[in-house]
Amino acid sequence: MRLTVVQMNPSADKAANLAAAERLVTAAAEDHPDLMVLPEMWTCLGGDSEAKRAAAERLPDPGCANEGGEAYRLLRTLARRHRIVLHGGSLAEDGGDCLFNTTVVFGPDGEERARYRKIHLFDIVAPDGTGYRESATFGRGSAIVTYRAGNTTVGCTICYDLRFPELFLALRRAGAELIVVPAAFTLQTGKDHWEVLLRARAIETQCWVAAAATWGRHEERGAARFTYGHSLIADPWGHVVAKASDGEGWATARLDPAVTARVRRDMPLMDHRVLA
CATH number reported for the structural domain that contains residue 9 in this entry:
3.60.110.10
| Model confidence at 243: pLDDT above 90 | yes
Identity (one letter) of the amino acid at 233? I
pLDDT category at 126 given cuts 50, 70, 90 is confident
Report helix, strand or coil for 273.
coil
Q: Can you give the residue range of the structural domain that contains 195?
A: 2-272
**Residue 163 per-residue DSSP state:** G
What percent of the chain is modeled with pLDDT above 90?
88
| Model confidence at 263: pLDDT above 70 | yes
Tell me how many domains the chain contains.
1
41 close to 92: Cβ distance less than 8 angstroms: yes
Transcribe 192-256 into DSSP letters. HHHHHHHHHHHHHHT-EEEE-BBEEEEEETTEEEEEE---EEE-TTS-EEEE--SSSEEEEEE--
Task: Dump pLDDT digits (tens) for 150-201.
Answer: 999 999 999 999 999 999 999 999 999 999 999 999 999 999 999 999 999 9
Mean of pLDDT over the chain: 95
Distance (Å, whole) CA 41 – CA 158:
10
Distance (Å, whole) CA 195 – CA 8:
18
What is the per-residue pLDDT for 128?
83
What is the per-residue pLDDT for 62?
73
What is the per-residue pLDDT for 65?
62
- The DSSP bridge partners found for residue 258 are none
Specify the pTM.
0.97
Instruction: Tell me the CA distances in angstroms from 231 to 43, 51, 172, one per residue in order.
Output: 18, 26, 22
Task: Dump pLDDT digits (tens) for 101-110.
Answer: 999 999 999 9
| Residues labelled catalytic | 40, 118, 159
What is the per-residue pLDDT for 114?
98
What is the per-residue pLDDT for 160?
97
Task: Dump pLDDT digits (tens) for 45-102.
Answer: 998 888 889 999 999 987 676 789 999 999 999 999 999 999 999 999 999 889 999 9
Task: Dump pLDDT digits (tens) for 2-40.
Answer: 999 999 999 999 999 999 999 999 999 999 999 999 999
What is the per-residue pLDDT for 124?
87
Residues in contact with 271: Cβ distance below 8 Å, sequence separation at least 6, in sequence order: none
What is the per-residue pLDDT for 223?
86
What is the per-residue pLDDT for 64?
72
pLDDT category at 267 given cuts 50, 70, 90 is very high
What is the per-residue pLDDT for 205?
98
